[in-house]
Amino acid sequence: MLNTPESRSGMGHHHAERFPWKGIIGYVLSIILTGFSMWIGLTHAAQFGTALFVILGLAVLQIFVQMFLFMHVTESDEGPPWQVLGLLAGLLFVATIVGMSMWIMTFNGQAS
Amino acid sequence: MPISHLSHWGLLVTGDPLLYGADASIILASVGIVFVLTYFKKWKWLWREWLTTVDHKRIGIMYLIAAVLMLFRAGTDALMMRTQLALPNQHFLGPEHYDQIFTTHGTIMIFFMAMPFIFALMNIAVPLQIGARDVAFPYLNAISFWLFFFGAMLLNLSFVIGGSPDAGWTSYAPLAGLHFDPGPGENFYLLSLQITGIGSIATGINFLATIFKMRAPGMTLMKMPLFTWSIVATNILIIFAFPALAVALALLLIDRIAGAHFFTIHAGGLPMMYINMFWIWGHPEVYIVLLPAFGVFSEVVATFSRKTIFGYKAMVSSMLVISVVSYFVWAHHFFTMGGGVSVNSFFAVASMLIGIPTGVKVFNWMFTMYRGRIRMKMPMLWTIAFIPCFVLGGASGMMLAVAPVDYQFHNSYFLVAHFHEMLIGGVVFGMFAALYYWWPKVFGFILDEKWGRWAFWFWNIGFYVCFEPQYALGLMGMQRRMYTYPSGMGWTALNFISTIGAFLMGIGFLVMAGGIVYSIFKGERDLTGDPWDGRTLEWSLPSPAPHYNFAVIPTITDRDQWWTLKEQGKQDTLRPRPEDIQPIHMPKNSAKPFLIGVAFFAAGFGFVFNWYVLAAAGLFCIVILLLVRSFEYHSDYHIPVDEVVHTETALGRL
Ligand code: HEM
Ligand SMILES: [Cu+2]
């Protein structure tokens, strides 16, 4: 056997029998979330500040849709919980990037 | 506009005799290749054995060839620039032409030379080192390669069609925005990097999954070879850094083709944000190309000193520390932007901290050599040459990290000297060490030492002659990206010397290529599979390794498994026994990765010229190809036992 994750999880070899409900729901949800934020952006349906917050909220929802419906975060194999480690590292780097970028872009309080 | 008179969105670049020469040679080379393939009836072979392959070893070879060709292409750019700068007030290259050349030189060297080189090494060495039969996702691996390949094609095409990008390899907004840089050149840059970038992220995920999930039984993380560890650190960086680049490029592209204003001031955009995001990727990128070289040096030093590596755990932890800390230093690339005292102090201190784990590694390599039985073969020579070069470059890097002093050094030739010292003395020397080291494993013959030594000395002497004077030039006030300079600045002699050094390196490259050609015909064949008396698993296999790598997956008990077995006289435990051989499950070749590459190329080309029909058609084909793949149920097959037995017998291993 080729000892790949593909063949172990059955993606390569055995065929999935079930209807991919998760995928379909995720797909529809992500289209709705993206479409809605695009609509806000294009039509100026809300004021700038409000729009920004709504779109950010939608983006966070989108992350959850992706992680739970597409990316199998809840599934696990033997061995260390790699996805948890990955998510923690991701969290650290995202926090760094966003936080530090905001800090840098205040230009010592001399610009905004 | 450029060199050339683009009838604004006119297609072919015209106007300059240098360019016509280049066009003619490109056409001649293409006609030559088509002719040879047709004459020798090799089209089918090319398609079946290479273009549709999903074998990591072949993908590795293709990356390697591409990287060496791109080194030649961007090296020619470098020699043209050095020719222009050899003397004051020259007119060999005009200002626009010079801009285009330093842009393509830098972009190609980083994205299409260094990156494919490290991907070549990952593909060639990692599965063999960990006792696996391929990577976790072989099909995705092929997609990554073709995205890289067609991305590179797209950028190189700009040279003939539409005009090369000219805003620097960093492509800073607002200079790279539509207002200051109309025309398709910059779009070529953005789209080609976007396309290869997708491939790079996929490779990062692919190899991390491979290393975490597919090690041979018994190989715990702390028993992995150091090269494989360096690839773990590299891939962590790739996965978290490349998305930042993807976003920066996408936003700039939207600015350019859809009229948004993310990076233009007048509609509330923030050009500094582009610079910020570019370097969030850009600094980790430095380590993405450097860490694999560290891995190579660790393998080579241990093998050629015949000792286990000194301080294995310190090596591993320093690489992991580097892969985290290198996210916290990016602002050192724009200390002068005005971030203020606290920002600059933070990033200055963080940058200096990186020197600590790096210094640890240098000492460990030296302690490994200490009292070792050193053999000065080519890989070891390149490793030893790397150390002083890297230490010098590191020292000048520490100087650049001192924020107030950087106000003097910034964007001067001091910087140019520093980063070439890291990129050539660190990355390229490392890649060369790896080239000589793993070449026999890949191709079955050893690269000739004599040619290798000549190339080595040309490169090394050339390097110092070329770049040390540039430190002085920088301190004397010469700025980077100057297409010429007046006489009477006191810069002439140093520039002239620097150009001589550049040409010495050019000769070094040619001698190296000559050595490869010589060795193809006359090189010593590697009949044992273990020409260097190696320590890790790949050297237990024949050279080149059979299609399925390991007839029987080995069980690991030691860090230097192969070495330990040799010491105990038990090499035979890694030979397959007939009763252990089972059918081997392998992925089938596929044309789709190649076609996906073509579709991305078409889509990218469409976006470059705002031809949305072509762009949409390309994207549509990508979606179709993905759909077709997801309904493909027979993407794998089994090699029957007989065939494995037959192959192993022919190799004399049964
Ligand atoms: C073969 C030896 C090489 C020579 C002689 C050389 C020479 C040069 C020269 C003359 C410049 C332009 C300096 C300026 O006008 O500001 C330059 C820029 C640059 N080089 Fe090299 N180079 C070499 C190898 C490399 C390698 C191996 C890499 C990377 C792996 C590299 C990366 C860059 C980058 C990123 C730039 C900056 C481009 C920009 O300003 O946008 N070079 N090099
Ligand atoms: Cu940096």
Give CA separation, B647 vs B387, B550, B552, B581, in Å.
42, 11, 13, 12
Name the residue type at position A83. Q
List the single residue in A with minimal CA-CA distance to B341. A108
Nearest-CA residue for atom 5 of ligand 1: B502
CA-nearest residue for atom 19, ligand 1, is: B106
Q: Cα separation of B395 and B523, whole Å?
A: 39
Please tell me whether the peptide bond between B544 and the residue prior to it is cis, using omega within 30 degrees of 0: yes
How crowded is residue A42: how many other Cβ atoms within 10 Å of its Cβ?
8
> How many whole angstroms from B414 Cα to the centroid of ligand 2?
15
Which residue in this structure is represented by tokens 């050193």?
B374
* Burial class of B35 by CB neighbour count within 10 A (0 to 12, 13 to 18, 19+): exposed
Per-residue model confidence (pLDDT) at position A4: 44
Chain A residue numbers touching B272 (CB-CB < 8 A): 105
3-class SS of residue B12: strand
Confirm if B605 and B158 have CB atoms less than 8 A apart: no
Cα atoms in the 13 Å half-sphere on the side-chain side of B169 = 16
Superfamily of domain B42-590+635-650: Cytochrome c oxidase-like, subunit I domain (1.20.210.10)
Cβ of B331 and A100 within 8 Å?
Answer: yes
pLDDT at A6: 41
Amino acid at B369: M
CA distance B164 to B106: 13
Rounded CA separation A102/A109 (Å) = 11
B542 cis-preceded (ω within 30 degrees of 0) = no
The number of the ligand nearest the C-alpha atom of B459 reads 1
Closest CA–CA distance from residue B220 to any residue of chain A (Å) = 11
What value of ipTM does the predicted structure carry?
0.84
Report the distance separating Cα B45 and Cα B49, nearest Å: 6
Residues of chain B contacting residue A77, judged by C-beta atoms under 8 Å apart: 213
CB atoms within 10 A of CB B328: 18
pLDDT value of position B144? 98
Closest-CA residue of chain B to A99 = B328
What separation in Å is there between the alpha carbon of B64 and the centre of ligand 1? 20
Beta-carbon count within 10 A of B351 CB:
26
The span from the CA of A64 to the CA of A26, in Å, is 10
Give Rg (Cα) of chain A. 20
Identity of the residue numbered B1: M
A100-107 long-range contacts (CB < 8 A, ≥24 apart) are A100/B328, A100/B331, A101/B273, A101/B276, A101/B277, A101/B280, A103/B343, A104/B276, A104/B331, A104/B339, A104/B343, A105/B270, A105/B272, A105/B273, A105/B276, A106/B340, A107/B338, A107/B339, A107/B340
Q: Which residues are within 8 A (CB) of A8 and not within 5 positions of it... i.e. 6 or more apart? A: A77
Whether ligand 1 lies within 6 angstroms of the CB of B75 is answered as: yes
Q: Are B52 and B589 in contact (CB under 8 A)?
A: yes
For B229-288, the DSSP string reads HHHHHHHHHHHHHHHHHHHHHHHHHHHHHH---SS-GGGT--HHHHHHHHHHHHHHHHHH
Reference B348, options B395, B393, B396, B404; nearest CA is: B404
Locate tokens 């890694």: which residue? B574
Minimal Cα distance from B635: which residue of A?
Answer: A12
pLDDT at B21: 76
Is the Cα dihedral B409, B411, B415, B416 positive or negative? negative
CA distances from B206 to A46, B142, B199, B463 (A): 42, 11, 10, 35
Angle, nearest 10°, between helix axes B378-401 and B449-475?
10
Q: How far is CA B570 from its chain centroid? A: 38
Q: Tokens in use for B93? A: 């290259």
* Separation between Cα atoms, residue B311 and residue B251, nearest integer Å: 45
pLDDT at B8: 44
Alpha helix segments (H runs only) across B476-611 = 492-522, 561-567, 592-608
Instruction: Tell me how crowded residue B278 is: count the other CB atoms within 10 A of its CB.
Output: 24
Q: Which residue of A has its CA nearest to B552?
A: A1
Binary contact (A90, B132; C-beta < 8 A) = no
The whole-number pLDDT of residue A77 equals 74
Provide the H-helix boundaries in B523-611.
561-567, 592-608
Q: Which residues of B448-481 are buried (b: 16+ CB within 10 A; e: fewer)?
A: bbebbebbbebbbebbbbbbbbbbbbbeeebebe
What is the rounded CA–CA span in Å between residue B608 and residue B189?
9
Question: What is the tens place of the pLDDT at every residue in B51-97?
Answer: 999 999 999 999 999 999 999 999 999 999 999 999 999 999 999 99
pLDDT in tens, B114-152: 999 999 999 999 999 999 999 999 999 999 999 999 999
Q: Give tens-digit pLDDT for B152-164.
A: 999 999 988 888 9
Backbone φ, ψ for residue B144 (5° rounding): -55, -45
The amino acid at A43: T
Identify the contact set of chain B against chain A, taking CB-CB distances under 8 A.
132-138, 209, 212-214, 236, 240, 244, 270, 272-273, 276-277, 280, 327-328, 331, 338-343, 553, 582, 584-587, 633, 635-636
What pLDDT is recorded for position A108? Answer: 66
pLDDT score of B6: 42
**Token output for B343:** 């920002």
Q: How many residues does chain A have?
A: 112
Q: Where are the domains of chain A?
A: 21-70, 77-101
Contact A5 B244 (CB under 8 A): no
Please, how many CA atoms are within 13 Å of residue B621, restricted to the half-sphere of its CB?
18
Q: What are φ and ψ of residue B137, in 5° steps?
A: -130, 80
Integer CA distances (angstroms), B50 to B32, B60, B308, B636, in order: 19, 11, 37, 18
Mutate to test the pocket of ligand 1, among B155, B389, B420 (most ligand atoms within 8 A of CB): B420
**Phi–psi pair at B131, nearest 5 degrees:** 75, 40
Low-confidence stretches of chain B (pLDDT < 70) are: 1-12, 14-15
Name the residue with the closest Cα to ligand 1, atom 8: B78
Tell whether ligand 1 has an atom less than 6 A from the beta carbon of residue B175.
no
Low-confidence ranges of chain A (pLDDT < 50): 1-15, 112
Structural tokens at position B90: 């020259």
DSSP symbol at B46: I
Residues of B in Cβ contact (< 8 Å) with A93: 240, 327
* Closest to B528 in 3D by CA, of B449, B450, B445: B445
Classified as helix, coil or strand, B304 is helix
Q: Whose CA is nearest to atom 3 of ligand 1?
A: B78
Roughly how many angstroms between the first and final C-alpha of chain B, as a whole number? 67
pLDDT at A8: 38
Q: Name the residue type at position B509.
A: F
Looking at residue B42, its pLDDT comes to: 85
CA B282 to ligand 2 centroid distance, Å: 7
pLDDT digits (tens, 9 = 90+) for B390-413: 999 999 999 999 999 999 999 999
C-alpha span between B619 and B445 (Å, rounded): 43
Q: Which of A85, A97, A107 to mutate to test the interface with B (most CBs of B within 10 A)?
A: A97
Q: What is the per-residue pLDDT for B470?
A: 98
Give one word for B366, left, alpha or beta, with left for phi > 0 and alpha for psi -120 to 50.
Answer: alpha
Q: What is the pLDDT of residue B446?
A: 97
The model carries a pTM of 0.93
Q: CA-CA distances (angstroms) from residue B3 to B177, B274, B318, B484?
A: 20, 28, 48, 16
Give the model's pLDDT for residue B4: 39
3-state secondary structure of B585: strand
